[in-house]
Structure 1
Amino acid sequence: MPKVLVANRGEIAIRVLRAASELGWDTVALYTENDFSHDTFADQAIKLNTPADYLNVEAIVKAAVNAQCTHIHPGYGFLSESPALPLALDSSITYIGPSPSTLRIASDKMLSRDLADSLNIPIAPGRRVQSAHEAQDFARSIGYPVIIKALDGGGGRGIRIVNEEGSLEEAFKRCLGESPSKQLFVEKALTGPGWKHVEVQIIGDGTDVNHLWERECSVQRRFQKIVEIAPSHLSREDVRPLLDASLKMAKKLQYKGLGTFEFLVNVDTPRRQWVFLEINPRVQVEHTVTGKTFEAPLNQRSVDALSTIEEITGVDLVRAQILLFSPNNKVTLSDLSLLNPPPPPKGHAIQLRITAEDPEKGFQLSPGTLRGRDVNWPGGRGVRVDTWLTSAPIDGTEEPQWTIGTEFDSLLAKIITKGATFEEATEKAKRSLRELRLGGTNGTSKLKTNIAVLLGMLLHHDWRAAGGTIDTLWLERNLATVLQLGSNSTTKARRRPKGLDASVQSTYLPDPGSSPGSGKNNVLLQPGSLFHLTLSTPGQTASQSTKKHAITLTTIGQNAFPEALSGSFQSTFLDSKPIEFTLTQSTSASISSSGDFELADPNDPMHVGAPMTGKIVELHAALREAQAPSTDDGKRRTLVRKGEPVLVFSVMKMENVIVSPCDGYVRRVGAGVRAGVIIGEGTLICVLEERNTSRL
């Protein structure tokens, strides 16, 4: 009996586990602390020590050997493009993916470009660089804008566009920090009006290869796709050169398994100028829009009943991928009825990526916690949801709860809609987003998502015009309008039905199955509730530090405690008049309970605080200087310029910078702030003093 270890997590792990189970294979999942919803879909689960172990070849192989697996499926991300994983396996374990020699070329963006160039396939001017100075020299020779890329980047990581020389060095540093191999290259930036991102789905058996048509992925934020459509808006005539180029490269590689060959196409040029971009030698996030789905009922609390077959071609890609590596290792494209050229795609499919991000803050991650009651998935004919916010039914379990942390990608779910026409698929997508609820509709949750962006995009006239004017930078140029359109539509969708008396709402909102006083979630709070508050300072005697106060709630506006509580109160330590308040719980990781860190004062402009949770990668020289033992030698302190990075921190393997709000000097650094530590949202990084008030 074949037994497969899925070396991944989240929705793609569930996708693969389901497909393998349908084939009768035994399945093994990997999981980490607070991230285990996918493991309920496996026959066996193995806990990794840390999230970093998903990138640890030795840990993955050890898990597969100990579980006596016959196969390893890498999913996407993590080790899916690393030749090191299949090379570490002995003959008793089969790697479900391309050969190590194919991965070596396909996973290296420069080697892939070299392959394309050798086959007379057009590429953008580019070269490998070892330093920022070398990158500047090359950029001058080909002209700005240019793109700096990590050879092993992906998912928007390790990539920066540079429009002028002054910003190249900083972009180079950030890309270098996001590259595991510390290898970068620079190429001419082909972005903006006219340039569309189109990719071809390839499948091969090691001898023969075939395509399954193309997808368009031009709606992107920070160079990461958030919307995919199939087929693209290109004519079949314009698609043909991309198909031919993909097949030519795949045949040269003797490709086996699933792969995607990506291109940029300029629709504003008469002959549709195009260039090869890169190869993704694995299953992709957007694979769902390439095949066909059958309809299944959707429970509002889970998505377990959904099919896992894709949209426009009728091919279950993951099932086909697994079958190509079945135990006898002799399954061919012919056996799968995939050897002959596929018929033209039928219908149109749209995939929307739902992410835990705040679009109003540069799409920064919005960590937090979701419970079963916080989620309402869309359903109906032509709608499919792939998500990790679910679990296989297990008797005796409590309400499911999921943690969105900083270690993994922000993807929460993929909503895929299918229609006979592009317009029909669009209407299903809009309806689905209006039905979707993540984290409540009345402000009780601070979890931010990109739902408004996706809905606004679908309502924008450029999308309604069949996406003809949407290019790879379209969302960045139109984000404000898109957000407004989406927010207005979302608000309208949340109105109560007529005839429902809002006054019947109670200030007590119990959990299903809980009762007042049970200690679970919301608590009974009423106007007039009196509290006694005792304040004391650690390390001092009670007589020295203890202060007692009384607080009474005079009104309650909203009770969703602990997520949110608003109203007014009177107290013995503030003005005797009622004071209005709003208390909301941050969904980011909290500040250390040990007191190792301190909070920034949001009302003090000289306090520089962390906008979110992340791992400190680099400190400005002025912060390191302020932390060093004082010599008081009268030397001038290092000046921090306005807009200059004060601190660099990593979130989901992407580097983010916190900049100085003014020209000034560092008065002091926040407690516990040092390279390598994880800081929570609201942590004080440093206190500045403006330049004109500083000692010279």
Structure 2
Amino acid sequence: MMFKILVANRGEIATRILRSASELGWKTVAIYTENDTSHATYADEAVKLESVVGFLDVDTIVTIAYSTNCTHVHPGYGFLSESPKLPVALSRQQGGGKCIEFIGPSPEALRIASDKMLSRELATLLGIPVSPGRHISTPEEIRQFSRNLGHRYPLIIKALDGGGGRGIRIVNSEDEVEEAFQRCIGESPSKQAFVEKALAGPGWKHVEVQVIGDGTNVNHFWERECSVQRRFQKLVEIAPSRLPRSAVQPLIDASLKMAQRLQYKGLGTFEFLLNARSPSDWVFLEINPRIQVEHTVTEEINDIDLVRTQLLLFSPSTRTLASLRFDRPPTSPTSYAIQLRVNAEDPSKGFQLAPGTLLPQDVVWPLGRGIRVDTWLSISPSGHSPDAKFNVGTDFDSLLAKIIVKGASFEEATQRGIRALRELRVGDSSKEISGFKSVKTNAVVLAGTLSHSDWFGTHGEVDTLWLERNLRDVIELGDKVLPPKAIVGLQKPTSAGAMNGHESGPSSGAGSVLLQPGTLFSLIMSPSGQSVGESSRTGGTVKHSITITSIERNAFPQVLSGTFLSTLPSPFASVDSSGLGNASQVPIPFTLTQSTSVNVSGGQQQQFELADPNANGHIGSPMTGKVVELHPALLQALSNSTGTTHKDKIKVRQGQPLLLLSVMKMENAIVAPWDGYVQRVGKGIKLGVVLGEGMLVCVLERGSNLPTDSGSDNNNGRARL
């Protein structure tokens, strides 16, 4: 029988599934969007989505699966993979009486496993420890939960269906409850959340068990440790854990117990927190009923292709663990594997997304024994295009690639990981492509982590908050370990050396503009209302020249500074009899600063205004993201629906979100730094646009300068995308 599979995902996991299915002889179908096509080049067929929303829309996925005559659907990982709605919809017979098989657990198993409260209840029923927690629907219920714990903080608020760090906020005090609750709800597809006691002190490690089942029997492929995290998102994973076997075995037993009760089918990960300083102190966290991003390290230590195995479990002749010879306990691992997530983010700015555009030649991956790279920054040879480029934006997560290294010992794997990072090249910071900045990565943090003395500790030194506590040291170590090219991108050599500590050689800025000392510009001016051509014919033009004599900084078009000579009247020269200054005889210092920026949002160009940090009241965006919510005061300023007096204006309170930016499906608030009123909104600001880092959100007049009885501080009436 010929099988045909729709891979309902994108990026590196879609590429991986498409390749494994192709090896088995299955026909493949991919889905893609206009600016995200690389994975689709590995498929036999590809269907274009109208927008990124289609990746999470059950009806869209089902329609495509049936219209392309697929026999199977693989959801990859993410929200869709954990929704029981998809397998239910696929099981409904369409025209011709056929059903499509969902590669994953049954709808009932998914219903429990994907709901964090239901899975906690299952664990409790089976005698497996969990952290104290409860379902919540209002911020007041969070405060009451804290009071029940003796007014204890920190707490963790989680979306019932969150994942990948989304829908999770830690609350350190009662003042943070309201905002944290709103952000979790905003990132949750179901708009439901729960709160639990935070176990985030010294020594608490994140350990997870890889489980496989055929619907009747279950087995495991050992565990992974994922304690190196930022904002509850994993950065570095290892397998197996270096914890004692006596500490890990209870977690494996608990995972198999829960999986057996669920009659689990497919791949699943059962996650736990364990205190390395007191290994008997551990709790169940959640079930991820799908393949995980970090499945690669499990593959390496078990010498198994998990994706291929997953596909075979849903083939008629290999539907049991016994038929695949996985019905016996696995062999103890004799090697170590480390996965390093290379993300498009800036560690020096709190791991903010660093979007941009890459060309195939801008990427160099490490090679050699024991090194593997899984990435979406590649194109199938059959789908190669000379003008191909990779766009890193705000709609998806920041993952660019996974570098997986393997060694006979933990030390060997670590050394190999450092070598791989030293060979890595992502981006060319000396240019921009079509107005987009080149991409920055977190390679310096990955290298610093593997070089830190705590990394080799065996007493719980690296816990879930370790990176947060040691980030500065980690970055410093990474700077020392990596060559400069790996940190800042590929630097093109200039033909001239530095002069007096300044850049004096040619420099290629954005748009490949070559600027160097001696560059001559001709300036032709014409009277108002006439084109240059018309003025030339009537003799009404005035010609001048501008010669760059030195360049101190070239980040054109954002910033260009140096000195120039010009035939224009100098503003610093003495005034002659005509009332004009003489032409400049000595070089004049100048700085050219861009005050607007053009971005592409939704296929259309949008112009924004750069915030001036020296201007009174300018509130700039600290990151790049899609605008998904606006404060009523910004809406009022945009609409000009009321008068301009303070009495009519909506007051903004310090700490209130002026707007929300969606970055990789996570919501980030830009808050008011003081009480005040919105004088005006930055150019281009509206719902749905992608706002770049440093762009002006609004000008906020300080409330201390205003009448105390003016305006309303109403925080209702927000507009949301």
Range class of TM-score, shorter chain:
0.7 to 0.9
Percent sequence identity over aligned pairs: 58
Asked if 1:264 corresponds to 2:259, the answer is no
C-alpha root-mean-square deviation of aligned residues, in Å? 3.3
How big is each residue's C-alpha offset from its partner over 1:620-653, in whole Å with a ceiling of 9 and x where there is no partner? 3433444452246763755434444322221111
> In terms of mean alpha carbon deviation, does 669-678 or 422-431 score higher?
669-678
Asked if 1:689 corresponds to 2:693, the answer is no
Quote the residue 1:308 is aligned against: none
Report the Cα offset of residue 693 of structure 1: 3.1
Report the Cα offset of residue 561 of structure 1: 7.6
Alignment of 1:19-168 (within 5 A): 19-89=20-90, 90=93, 91-142=98-149, 143-168=152-177
How big is each residue's C-alpha offset from its partner over 1:390-412, in whole Å with a ceiling of 9 and x where there is no partner? 11113773154100011001000
> In terms of mean alpha carbon deviation, does 567-576 or 641-650 score higher?
567-576
Of 412, 416, 432, the match for 2:404: 416
Look up the equivalent residue of 1:481 and give its one-letter code.
D
Quote the residue 1:288 is aligned against: 296
Alignment of 1:353-368 (within 5 A): 353-368=341-356
The answer to whether the Cα contact below 8 Å between 2:431 and 2:512 also exists between their aligned partners in 1 is no
How big is each residue's C-alpha offset from its partner over 1:400-441, in whole Å with a ceiling of 9 and x where there is no partner? 410001100100000000000000000000111111111137
- Separation of aligned partners in 2, 1:34 and 1:676: 17
Q: Secondary structure at the match of 2:20?
A: helix
The answer to whether the Cα contact below 8 Å between 1:446 and 1:587 also exists between their aligned partners in 2 is no
How big is each residue's C-alpha offset from its partner over 1:569-618, in whole Å with a ceiling of 9 and x where there is no partner? 44549865343668899999458976664443343242112233322233
Report the Cα offset of residue 665 of structure 1: 2.6
Report the Cα offset of residue 274 of structure 1: 0.6
Alignment of 1:337-356 (within 5 A): 337-356=325-344
Alignment of 1:174-213 (within 5 A): 174-213=183-222
Look up the equivalent residue of 2:377 and give its one-letter code.
L
> In terms of mean alpha carbon deviation, does 210-219 or 165-174 score higher?
165-174
Look up the equivalent residue of 1:183 and give its one-letter code.
Q
- Unmatched 5+ residue regions in structure 2? 498-503, 536-540, 572-583, 709-721
Asked if 1:529 corresponds to 2:519, the answer is yes
Quote the residue 1:228 is aligned against: 237
- Separation of aligned partners in 1, 2:475 and 2:310: 38
Q: 1:396 to 1:452 in 2, by over 3 A?
A: closer
Of 314, 317, 321, the match for 1:325: 314
Report the Cα offset of residue 238 of structure 1: 1.0
- Separation of aligned partners in 2, 1:414 and 1:363: 17
Quote the residue 2:445 is aligned against: 453
The answer to whether the Cα contact below 8 Å between 1:372 and 1:399 also exists between their aligned partners in 2 is no
How big is each residue's C-alpha offset from its partner over 1:35-70, in whole Å with a ceiling of 9 and x where there is no partner? 001111111111111011001111111111121111
- Separation of aligned partners in 2, 1:503 and 1:595: 36
Alignment of 1:243-254 (within 5 A): 243-254=252-263
Look up the equivalent residue of 1:283 and give its one-letter code.
I
- Separation of aligned partners in 2, 1:347 and 1:110: 36
The answer to whether the Cα contact below 8 Å between 1:568 and 1:579 also exists between their aligned partners in 2 is yes
Q: 1:660 to 1:585 in 2, by over 3 A?
A: closer
Of 543, 548, 552, the match for 1:553: 548
Q: 1:259 to 1:591 in 2, by over 3 A?
A: closer
- Separation of aligned partners in 1, 2:167 and 2:611: 30
Q: 1:419 to 1:36 in 2, by over 3 A?
A: same
- Separation of aligned partners in 1, 2:247 and 2:356: 44
Q: Secondary structure at the match of 1:240?
A: helix
Q: 1:425 to 1:632 in 2, by over 3 A?
A: closer
The answer to whether the Cα contact below 8 Å between 1:531 and 1:550 also exists between their aligned partners in 2 is yes
The answer to whether the Cα contact below 8 Å between 1:105 and 1:112 also exists between their aligned partners in 2 is yes
How big is each residue's C-alpha offset from its partner over 1:526-579, in whole Å with a ceiling of 9 and x where there is no partner? 532323457999x977699x9986443334679898899776544549865343
Q: Secondary structure at the match of 2:302?
A: coil
Quote the residue 1:294 is aligned against: none
The answer to whether the Cα contact below 8 Å between 2:517 and 2:548 also exists between their aligned partners in 1 is yes
Quote the residue 1:297 is aligned against: none
The answer to whether the Cα contact below 8 Å between 1:233 and 1:468 also exists between their aligned partners in 2 is no
Report the Cα offset of residue 489 of structure 1: 2.3
> In terms of mean alpha carbon deviation, does 120-129 or 627-636 score higher?
627-636
Q: Secondary structure at the match of 1:128?
A: strand
Q: Secondary structure at the match of 1:611?
A: coil
Quote the residue 2:228 is aligned against: 219
The answer to whether the Cα contact below 8 Å between 2:626 and 2:691 also exists between their aligned partners in 1 is yes
Specify the structure having the higher radius of gyration (Cα). 2
The answer to whether the Cα contact below 8 Å between 1:508 and 1:522 also exists between their aligned partners in 2 is no
- Separation of aligned partners in 1, 2:48 and 2:565: 50
The answer to whether the Cα contact below 8 Å between 2:156 and 2:169 also exists between their aligned partners in 1 is yes
Q: Secondary structure at the match of 1:268?
A: coil
Look up the equivalent residue of 1:579 and give its one-letter code.
P
Look up the equivalent residue of 1:188 and give its one-letter code.
K
Quote the residue 1:474 is aligned against: 466
Quote the residue 1:12 is aligned against: 13
Quote the residue 2:282 is aligned against: 274
Report the Cα offset of residue 369 of structure 1: 0.3
Q: Secondary structure at the match of 1:290?
A: helix
> In terms of mean alpha carbon deviation, does 4-13 or 665-674 score higher?
665-674
Look up the equivalent residue of 1:431 and give its one-letter code.
R
Of 173, 181, 187, the match for 2:182: 173
Look up the equivalent residue of 2:311 and give its one-letter code.
I
Quote the residue 2:628 is aligned against: 617
Quote the residue 2:395 is aligned against: 407
> In terms of mean alpha carbon deviation, does 48-57 or 482-491 score higher?
482-491
The answer to whether the Cα contact below 8 Å between 1:553 and 1:568 also exists between their aligned partners in 2 is yes
How big is each residue's C-alpha offset from its partner over 1:90-111, in whole Å with a ceiling of 9 and x where there is no partner? 3431111111111111110001
The answer to whether the Cα contact below 8 Å between 1:54 and 1:78 also exists between their aligned partners in 2 is no
- TM-score when normalising by structure 1: 0.87
Asked if 1:433 corresponds to 2:421, the answer is yes
- Separation of aligned partners in 2, 1:32 and 1:488: 40
Q: 1:574 to 1:246 in 2, by over 3 A?
A: farther
Q: Secondary structure at the match of 1:80?
A: helix
Q: How many residues align?
A: 661
Q: 1:238 to 1:494 in 2, by over 3 A?
A: closer
- Separation of aligned partners in 1, 2:159 and 2:184: 6
- Separation of aligned partners in 1, 2:654 and 2:268: 45
> In terms of mean alpha carbon deviation, does 148-157 or 459-468 score higher?
459-468
Q: Secondary structure at the match of 1:220?
A: strand
Look up the equivalent residue of 2:43 and give its one-letter code.
A
Report the Cα offset of residue 671 of structure 1: 3.9
> In terms of mean alpha carbon deviation, does 581-590 or 236-245 score higher?
581-590
Quote the residue 1:390 is aligned against: 378
The answer to whether the Cα contact below 8 Å between 1:507 and 1:524 also exists between their aligned partners in 2 is no
Look up the equivalent residue of 1:473 and give its one-letter code.
L
The answer to whether the Cα contact below 8 Å between 1:530 and 1:550 also exists between their aligned partners in 2 is yes
- Separation of aligned partners in 2, 1:493 and 1:261: 39
Alignment of 1:546-695 (within 5 A): 550-555=545-550, 569-570=564-565, 572=568, 576=584, 577-579=587-589, 589-590=599-600, 597-627=608-638, 628-631=640-643, 635=647, 637-695=649-707
- Unmatched 5+ residue regions in structure 1? 292-310, 511-519
- Separation of aligned partners in 2, 1:502 and 1:530: 19
- TM-score when normalising by structure 2: 0.84
The answer to whether the Cα contact below 8 Å between 2:133 and 2:195 also exists between their aligned partners in 1 is yes
